[in-house]
């Protein structure tokens, strides 16, 4: 009888058998379930058997068309029989184990979690509860918990928490039941309210009974227990309980026990679990204190050091590193005040703002550190330690301007024309009639330039103070018989190879000692006597009329020994020449360059050049007598042959007319000598695996081995009389007392490691980023580590392949005068120096960041300079402008005016460049006057030196002789303010002027007293708007520290509306697409330019920048900020390379080329045709709308490189994958990331 039945069953597909059984179960639901217990057991047993043996059965139950899950859950809810309940739990367990994600989701959506909790509560009332039932319930709950977002709330409301806790307490020895309970507890604890509730019920103490020392048994149980404990300890109240219970030493000793015994590293997850518990406890101040008291630093440091060789143990090393850094006691910066070391009293202090706060600070306030560095609990629940961006996390679009009234440019000149009429004198070209001008003969005199008077007149009125040309003072210490007194306080730099002009101060004659680079000084008095350098018969230039050659030499040398000198420069030039000047006779250069002897290790160096031979041989013999007959002549390069716009002597002249707050009397060698861009490529530095971690470990060693730390101050600007602290030659010598220099303090930490502190901007207590300083006294073959310890931004391109710049005097003298990218083991990370809330805008608990790099020097007794980016000083600009003037041909109309004087007494040059009219006929004069204007500015932020190099490229192109340059001059009138912030540049500021304010945030309402350059530049534009001659293009050149490539920010109503949530009618969005034409052209012709990085969104935080104000108030549609990277490129021809001055100058020239193309576009008669053409180059609007890159707030790089190895949690399931290699980081340039608050405000 059974056989036919079996046959029929076999004939039916298996999935139908499950469906039949489910149908049967469904019919039984309700009363029948309770009545017919045996039947329910049989049906559920058969279903379980089918699902266990046939995969298809499970799929059928879970298929979208099936109501199988509902039936199963209804049966589970209705049955009162323990066996049937168990069967259904087994079925669910089987179903949810396979294809877990989607199936668990279905289970949760059908209300399965609630039913499980309900059964758990019911079952707990049976005494004793069924162990098997509890086991299965908790196993299932552990599976579904992570997928149910409301799991924690449901558990708490149903009362399940207490059931699980009491079950654990009763079954501490029953590992089979304890494991699923702990798994569920782990999920419960992720809800913070549950964690606190569980803590109150003694679960933290309970967990410490479960975890234990090394043991090969029950390791999975221990792993889960530690996960649960870690989750519980995220709550600060539970962390306090653990500290109060004395559990920190317990965790440390357990960790050490597992570390010692787990020699095969099979239980890394348990060790990691212990560390996570410690990490969470140390989020509170009490926890950090307990950790230190339990000798946690040494334990973790030693264990981590032992783990380093095993790459798979990196997660342990990273977490240990994070804990140690968090617990490292906060240090104060080694400064008396975070205010700048230089004081400049403002004529009047603004009523509100940071500068007002600075001035209103009562004397005696310690602004370096808060009363308690640690009073803010670090909220470090995230795995990375970068909490910089809290403000920006709300929404990427927070900063976008949404007020449509503000978005529509309104030409509002803002001042009556009577006031603006005075600016007419800066626009002579608009009224010039050239009637008295003879177009036949040379037009050289046609446009008188005031550049010479700008530089020299100011020089002649200056106080007479010695100018030192710093050079390689340390080039050969053995041969420097310089009195200590001088060396002590003057931080003599490689000094001038040219005899310092004879100074009026009488000095005793100098003995014929070897003349070191650092022994020659130029005094400023000379300028009183002669404004221009006059070549003297012996071929070297002097600044004062020489009494006689012999006398002059004596006086100059004697003077050198007394004052600190401008020498570096001289040497500099000397070197540069070497490169290009092997021909002895170039008369031009011989006149210009210094001929004084440079003794480098006893070798007399002379300046090569025609007329200099007498002087050179003189020196040689002098050197020979003193240096045991070594009289070899070293040729020194003549930079002028290599750099048409550079003249060292002229540079010194310009320095004399430059006013600095510290009254610098030295010239840095690189500025004096110039920079010849290297011909080789400089690729982005590849990041060595683990470099950041190893640096951090070295920092932690300071605490572990305090006796190894020297802590010796070797340079300190806060001791103005004598910043260079002399020693026995065991330390490097530092100096930054020259134009644009920035280094406040140098502390020797270990024999070859130095902590360097940057000076804040004058009248400010922050903005530490730009640096430029000199180092000498180095040994060859030794690796020195330099740490800039008070950086502020939360991330830097130094983490993504950027290197520092170095200039070697020895290299320059050998014919390679150039800045090169250098440094190894470069990284940028948060350090243990506390940043006071006064400097952090009121926020407490902030830290500074360290930028660290290592350098192995190639030359003994070299003098090297390090800089953040290629320096470009104000005196360099004045020299370049003076030299450009000399390039002017009769066809070029060039005028240089002084726009205004700055607060510091420096003049702000304004250039006008265009083509002369062909004749003085009405037609030609009319064409000349009616050329559209292009208005360019640069260097409003002193630390963005790349902007000046781009501007140099633009100016050289404009003054060039090529047909393209001529066409460009004929097409436009250029008004150029090449340096908007001369005072900031001169004094080594990073961002501000002497007023302590970011000048690019003052355009809305500039003060004529505090922001004269902005006030008068804006007035020029307002004047143009009044006379209906607003510029066709306005562009402000900047540098960007956190993105690669060159790109533009512009202003567009349409794109701003697209990126924000505001709704606007189409009439509001009618906009000429012309604003996109120039960047689009640049993206086609300039290899460094990236259209993808451009943005045309108007943000609220930028409403007082030049770009937005000129767009909104002057009505210039094509108003841009052009940002050039400080790092390098990740696209185009220069992909993978760091940017150099050659590429920056090329960018400036290409900007000119783009304007020429723009002229062709805008010259089209049919305006509609222009629009078509522009939209053609631009691509469709929809592309623009959908393109996320138009939003400004993103960076090229992943959020914070700290993820690399700043993150302790690289291997957690929910953490970012660890990425130690900068190369890998670069693969994801589209990663959206907001800047830190400091950066958001500092972009344009």
The number of beta carbons lying within 10 Å of the beta carbon of residue 1156 is 15
Longest dimension (CA), the chain: 138
Do 609 and 587 touch, CB atoms closer than 8 A? yes
CA distances, 1208 to each of 227, 316, 573 (Å): 16, 8, 50
Do 577 and 634 touch, CB atoms closer than 8 A? no
Structure tokens at 974: 């250029």
Specify burial of residue 922 (Cβ count, 10 A radius: 0-12, 13-18, 19+). exposed
Taking the CA atoms of residue 101, residue 102, residue 107 and residue 108 in that order, the dihedral angle to the nearest 10 degrees is: 70
Q: Using CA atoms, how far apart are residues 1127 and 1088, in angstroms rounded to an integer? A: 12
Give the helix/strand (H/E) hosting 787: strand 783-791
Residue of 388, 1123, 1146, 1194 marked active site: 1123
**Strand-pair partners of 1099:** 400
Q: Using CA atoms, how far apart are residues 1039 and 511, in angstroms rounded to an integer? A: 49
Helix, strand or coil, per DSSP, at residue 1118: strand
Helix, strand or coil, per DSSP, at residue 1060: coil
Q: Quick one: angle between helices 160-170 and 131-144, nearest 10?
A: 130
Q: Which one, of 792, 803, 830, 800, lies nearest residue 1229 by Cα? A: 800
Helix, strand or coil, per DSSP, at residue 1236: coil
**Strand-pair partners of 742:** 772
Residues, the chain, total?
Answer: 1244
Q: Using CA atoms, how far apart are residues 1019 and 1041, in angstroms rounded to an integer? A: 30
Exposure letters 799-823 (e unless 16+ CB within 10 A, then b): bbbbbbbbbbbbbbbbbbbbbbbbb
Beta-carbon-side half-sphere exposure of residue 300 (alpha carbons within 13 Å): 33
Exposure letters 90-116 (e unless 16+ CB within 10 A, then b): bbbebbbeeeeeebbebbbebebbbbb
The number of helix segments (H) and strand segments (E) in the chain equals 52, 25
Q: Using CA atoms, how far apart are residues 806 and 162, in angstroms rounded to an integer? A: 66
Exposure letters 974-1006 (e unless 16+ CB within 10 A, then b): bbbbbbbbbbbbbbbbbbbbbbbbbbbbbbeeb
Q: Is the peptide bond before 121 cis (omega within 30 degrees of 0)?
A: no
**Residue 494 gets which letter from DSSP?**
S
Residue position matching structure tokens 């259904």: 88
Taking the alpha carbons at both ends of the chain, their separation in whole angstroms is 91
Q: Which one, of 1220, 777, 758, 833, lies nearest residue 991 by Cα? A: 758
Active site residue 1113: no
DSSP 726-747: P-SSSS-EEE--STT-B--EEE
Give the helix/strand (H/E) hosting 1047: strand 1046-1049
Do 960 and 913 touch, CB atoms closer than 8 A? no
Strand positions, DSSP E, 370-519: 466-468
**Residue 724 gets which letter from DSSP?**
B
Q: Which one, of 504, 540, 68, 398, lies nearest residue 1191 by Cα? A: 398
Residues designated as active site: 1123
């Amino acid at each position: 009888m059974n056989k036919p039945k079996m046959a029929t069953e076999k004939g039916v597909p298996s999935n139908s058998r499950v469906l039949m059984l489910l149908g049967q179960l469904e019919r039984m639901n309700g009363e029948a379930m309770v009545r017919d217990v045996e039947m329910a057991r049989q049906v559920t047993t058969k279903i379980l058997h089918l699902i266990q043996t046939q995969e298809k059965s499970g799929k059928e139950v879970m298929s979208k068309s099936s109501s199988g899950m509902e039936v199963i859950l209804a049966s589970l809810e209705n049955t009162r029989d323990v066996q049937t309940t168990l069967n259904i739990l087994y079925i669910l367990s089987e179903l949810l184990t396979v294809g877990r994600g989607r199936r668990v989701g279905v289970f949760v959506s059908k209300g399965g979690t609630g039913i499980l909790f309900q059964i758990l509560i019911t079952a707990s009332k049976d005494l004793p509860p069924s162990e098997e039932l509890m086991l299965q319930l908790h196993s299932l709950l552990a599976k579904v918990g992570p997928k149910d977002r409301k799991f924690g709330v449901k558990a708490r409301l149903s009362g399940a928490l207490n059931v699980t806790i009491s079950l654990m307490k009763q079954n501490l020895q029953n590992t089979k039941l304890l494991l699923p309970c702990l798994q569920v507890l782990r999920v419960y604890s992720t809800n913070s309210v549950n964690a606190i509730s569980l803590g109150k019920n003694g679960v933290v103490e309970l967990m410490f009974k479960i975890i234990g020392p090394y043991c090969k048994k029950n390791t999975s149980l221990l792993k889960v227990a530690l996960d649960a404990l870690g989750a519980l300890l995220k709550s600060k109240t539970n962390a306090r309980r653990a500290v109060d219970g004395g559990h920190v030493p317990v965790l440390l000793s357990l960790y050490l026990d597992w570390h010692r015994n787990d020699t095969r590293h099979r239980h890394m997850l348990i060790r990691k679990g212990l560390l996570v518990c410690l990490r969470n406890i140390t989020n509170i101040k009490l926890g950090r204190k307990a950790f230190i008291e339990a000798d946690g630093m040494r334990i973790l440091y030693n264990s981590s050091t032992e783990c380093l060789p095993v790459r798979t143990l990196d997660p342990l090393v990273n977490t240990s590193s994070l804990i140690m850094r968090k617990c490292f006691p906060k240090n104060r910066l080694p400064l008396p005040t975070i205010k700048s070391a230089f004081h400049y009293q403002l004529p009047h202090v603004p009523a509100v703002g940071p500068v007002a706060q600075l001035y209103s600070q009562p004397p005696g306030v310690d602004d370096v550190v808060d009363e308690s560095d640690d009073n803010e609990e670090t909220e470090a629940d995230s795995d990375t330690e970068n909490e910089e961006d809290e403000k920006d996390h709300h929404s990427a679009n927070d900063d976008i301007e949404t007020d449509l009234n503000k978005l529509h440019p309104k030409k509002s000149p803002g001042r009556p024309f009577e006031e603006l009429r005075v600016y007419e004198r800066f626009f002579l070209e608009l009224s010039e009639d050239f009637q008295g001008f003879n177009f036949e003969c040379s037009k050289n005199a046609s446009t008188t330039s005031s550049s010479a008077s700008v530089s020299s007149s100011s020089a002649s009125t200056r106080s007479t103070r010695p100018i030192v040309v710093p050079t390689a003072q340390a080039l050969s210490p053995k041969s420097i018989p310089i009195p200590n007194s001088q060396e002590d306080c003057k931080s003599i730099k490689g000094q001038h190879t040219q005899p310092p002009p004879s100074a009026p101060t009488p000095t005793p004659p100098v003995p014929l000692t070897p003349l070191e680079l650092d022994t020659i000084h130029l005094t400023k008095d000379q300028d009183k006597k002669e404004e221009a350098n006059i070549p003297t018969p012996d071929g070297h230039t002097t600044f004062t009329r020489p009494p006689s050659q012999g006398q002059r030499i004596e006086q100059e040398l004697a003077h050198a020994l007394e004052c600190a000198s401008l020498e570096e420069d001289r040497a500099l030039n000397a070197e540069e020449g070497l490169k290009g000047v092997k021909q002895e006779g170039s008369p031009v250069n011989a006149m210009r360059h210094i001929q004084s002897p440079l003794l480098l290790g006893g070798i007399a160096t002379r300046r090569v050049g025609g007329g200099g031979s007498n002087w050179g041989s003189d020196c040689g013999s002098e050197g020979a007598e003193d240096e045991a007959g070594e009289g070899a002549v070293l040729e020194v390069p003549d930079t002028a042959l290599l750099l048409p716009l550079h003249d060292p002597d002229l540079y010194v002249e310009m320095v004399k007319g430059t006013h600095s707050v510290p009254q610098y009397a030295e010239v840095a060698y690189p500025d004096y000598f110039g920079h010849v861009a290297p011909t080789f490529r400089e690729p982005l530095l590849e990041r060595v695996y683990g470099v950041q971690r190893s640096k951090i470990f070295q920092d932690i060693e300071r605490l572990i081995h305090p006796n190894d730390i020297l802590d010796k101050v070797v340079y300190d600007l806060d001791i103005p009389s004598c910043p260079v602290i002399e020693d026995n030659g065991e330390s490097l010598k530092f100096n930054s007392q020259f134009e644009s220099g920035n280094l406040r303090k140098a502390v020797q930490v270990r024999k070859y490691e130095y902590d360097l502190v940057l000076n804040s901007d004058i009248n400010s207590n922050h903005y530490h980023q730009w640096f430029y300083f000199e180092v000498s006294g180095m040994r060859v073959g030794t690796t020195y580590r330099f740490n800039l310890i008070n950086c502020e931004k939360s991330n830097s391109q130094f983490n993504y392949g950027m290197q520092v710049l170095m200039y070697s005097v020895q290299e320059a003298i050998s014919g390679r005068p150039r800045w090169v990218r250098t440094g190894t083991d470069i990284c940028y990370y948060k350090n243990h120096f506390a940043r006071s809330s006064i400097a952090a805008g009121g926020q407490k608990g902030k830290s500074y960041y360290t930028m660290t790099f290592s350098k192995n020097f190639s030359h003994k007794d070299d003098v090297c300079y390090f800089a953040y980016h290629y320096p470009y000083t104000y005196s360099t600009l004045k020299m370049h402008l003076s030299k450009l003037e000399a390039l002017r041909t009769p066809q070029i109309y060039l005028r240089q005016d002084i726009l205004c004087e700055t607060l510091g007494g420096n003049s702000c040059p304004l250039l006008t460049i265009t083509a002369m009219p062909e004749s003085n006929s009405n037609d030609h004069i009319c064409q000349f006057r009616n050329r559209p204007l292009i208005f360019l500015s640069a260097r409003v932020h002193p630390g963005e030196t790349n902007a000046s190099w781009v501007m140099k490229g633009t100016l050289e192109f404009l003054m060039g002789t090529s047909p393209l340059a001529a066409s460009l001059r004929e097409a436009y009138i250029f008004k150029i303010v090449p340096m908007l912030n001369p005072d900031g540049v001169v004094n080594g500021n990073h961002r501000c002027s002497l007023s302590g304010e970011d000048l690019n945030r003052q355009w809305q309402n500039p003060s004529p007293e505090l922001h004269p350059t902005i006030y008068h530049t804006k007035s020029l534009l307002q004047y143009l708007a009044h006379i209906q001659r607003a510029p066709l293009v306005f562009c402000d050149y900047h540098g960007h520290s956190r993105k690669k490539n060159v790109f533009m920010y512009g202003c567009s109503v349409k794109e701003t509306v697209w990126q924000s949530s505001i709704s606007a009618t189409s009439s509001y969005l009618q906009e000429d697409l012309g604003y996109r034409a120039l960047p689009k052209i640049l993206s086609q012709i300039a290899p460094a330019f990236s259209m993808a990085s451009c943005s045309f969104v108007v943000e609220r935080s930028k409403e007082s920048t030049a770009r937005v104000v000129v767009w909104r108030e002057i009505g210039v549609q094509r108003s841009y900020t052009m940002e050039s990277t400080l790092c390098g490129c990740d696209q185009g021809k220069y992909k993978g390379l760091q940017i150099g001055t050659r590429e920056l100058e090329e960018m400036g020239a290409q900007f000119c080329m783009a304007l020429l193309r723009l002229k062709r576009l805008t010259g089209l008669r049919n305006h509609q045709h222009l629009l078509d053409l522009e939209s053609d180059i631009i691509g469709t609007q929809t592309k623009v709308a959908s393109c996320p890159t138009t939003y400004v707030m993103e960076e090229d790089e992943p959020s914070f490189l700290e993820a690399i190895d700043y993150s302790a949690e690289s291997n957690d399931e929910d953490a970012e994958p660890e990425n130690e290699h900068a190369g890998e980081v670069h693969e994801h340039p589209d990663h959206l990331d907001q800047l830190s608050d400091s950066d958001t405000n500092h972009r344009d």
